Amino acid sequence: MRAITIPEPGEADALVPADVPAPTAGAGEVLVDVVAAGVNRADVMQRKGAYPPPPGASELPGLEVSGRISALGEGTEDAGWSVGDEVCALLAGGGYAETVAVPVGQLLPAPDGIPLEDAAALPEVACTVWSNLVMEAGLSEGETVLLHGGSSGIGTMAIQVAKALGAQVAVTAGSADKLAACRDLGADVLVNYRQQDFVEEVKAATDGRGADVILDVVGAKYLPDNIRALARDGRLVVIGLLGGRTGELDLGALLAKRGRVQATSLRSRPPEGKAEIVAAVREHVWPWVAQGRVRPLVQSRHPLEEAAAAHREMEASQHIGKILLTVVG
Ligand SMILES: NC(=O)c1ccc[n+]([C@@H]2O[C@H](COP(=O)([O-])OP(=O)(O)OC[C@H]3O[C@@H](n4cnc5c(N)ncnc54)[C@H](OP(=O)(O)O)[C@@H]3O)[C@@H](O)[C@H]2O)c1
């Protein structure tokens, strides 16, 4: 099969299309013929050699796909899936390819009303957002959530999920265009971090209380201000380190607020952990997708063979929402 390989870590040209052996469906897995694969920041880090696949995962990049089931592995016959079913899937790797083997618990039905190609934009962000905002931070109706990187793949999903939960949503982004897109998705408080102080803006929007939950992709650079922006009993969940990994934490300020700081990684969870999250997404987020309350936001599509161009676009950071790779079957 055709796939995108990374013979040596490096810049975007390190992504090399090649013929590689197609995977087979192991016990508990199904094979999916890929229609589209989502591009994620984690793939960029993997390409640079900074984010190796977890043990046992495919060496090929790609954390999510959409496509059609082409084979059922041992022990999956009674799991409710058939050859030909249109699906999307959360992966530990291997999505930049014509075929991928998927643990059966990581499959989701392709949502009705969404083109199959676009369904590839959903699994990674929906699972990351639901697991962190709800399963970890317990975001609930009436609370305020602050989302950094509001126009990112993660951010555009997080805005929609948080609004569907009934939360007030504050976002940060680096341009007026990005903030306008966040507003169109339902964000209530828009902060251009190049011109405004997000701590002041969030406090002003909450009568001085601060954010009950913060979902952060920046890390070290924002740690002191995130603690300042947190409400009493607030929960800060760090999922990205775009602004560095080592910061200073004022434990006194955290203690006074009875705050919580957590950092999580979806990819490193074992298949059972991913399956639990996928099941929760199917139960809670998929109905919102069916109702049109949550939708994938696709900025651009590149043929699989041009994965390098997709990575250059992601690294230029002008995109809003998701970038996809398409596979011509
Ligand atoms: N822990 C997990 O399980 C998990 C799972 C999925 C994703 N993530 C993380 O979530 C983050 C977003 O992922 P994504 O796939 O949605 O990425 P993405 O679409 O490329 O979004 C990243 C956004 O972050 C903003 N940003 C802030 N500081 C930045 C910096 N120093 N360099 C580059 N961009 C910066 C940019 O928007 P502005 O122009 O507004 O700054 C950019 O659009 C990544 O850090 C990724 O690793 C973590």
Task: In whole angstroms, give the CA distance from residue 219 to residue 51.
Answer: 16
Amino acid of residue 219: G
Nearest ligand 1 atom to the CA of 323 is 19
Q: Is residue 264 within 6 Å of ligand 1 at its C-beta?
A: yes
Every domain of the chain with CATH number 3.90.180.10 lies at 2-122+267-326
pLDDT by residue (tens digit) across 168-213? 999 999 999 999 999 999 999 999 999 999 999 999 999 999 999 9
Cβ of 95 less than 6 Å from ligand 1: no
| Cβ–ligand 1 contact at 153 (below 6 Å) | yes
Q: Phi then psi for 295, rounded to 5 degrees? A: -140, 155
Residues of the chain with CATH 3.40.50.720: 126-263
Beta bridge partners of 108: 88
In the block, residue with structure tokens 């169109």: 184
Amino acid in position 226 = N
Cα(323)–Cα(299) distance, rounded to whole angstroms?
Answer: 6
Task: Convert the pLDDT of each residue in 4-39 to its tens digit.
Answer: 999 999 999 999 999 999 999 999 999 999 999 999
What is 71-110 written as a DSSP string? EE-TT-TTSS--TT-EEEEE-SS--SBSEEEEEGGGEEEP
Q: Please provide the distance, in angstroms rounded to a whole number, between the alpha carbons at the two ends of the chain.
A: 11
Mean pLDDT of 283-305: 97
User: pLDDT per residue over 119-133, tens digit each?
Assistant: 999 999 999 999 999
Q: What is the model's pLDDT at position 328? A: 76
User: Per-residue pLDDT averaged across 274-298, rounded?
Assistant: 97
| Superfamily the domain 126-263 falls into | NAD(P)-binding Rossmann-like Domain (3.40.50.720)
pLDDT over 90 at 288, yes or no? yes
Structure tokens at 185: 């998705």
Q: To test the ligand 1 pocket, which listed residue (242, 245, 278, 318) has its Cβ within 8 A of the most ligand atoms? A: 242
pLDDT one-digit tens code per residue, 87-106: 999 999 999 999 999 999 99
Average pLDDT of span 220-247: 97
* CATH (one of 3.20.10.10, 3.90.180.10, 3.40.309.10, 3.30.2090.10) for 2-122+267-326: 3.90.180.10
- CB of 111 closer than 8 Å to CB of 126: no
Residues 145-175, buried b or exposed e (16+ Cβ, 10 A)? bbbbbbbbbbbbbbbbbbbbbebbbbbbbbe
Ligand 1 neighbourhood includes 178 CB (under 6 angstroms): yes
Name the residue of 44, 127, 217 to mutate for ligand 1: max ligand atoms within 8 A of Cβ.
Answer: 217
Q: By the 8 A CB rule, do 226 and 236 touch?
A: yes
40, 41, 47, 48 alpha-carbon torsion, rounded to 10°: 180
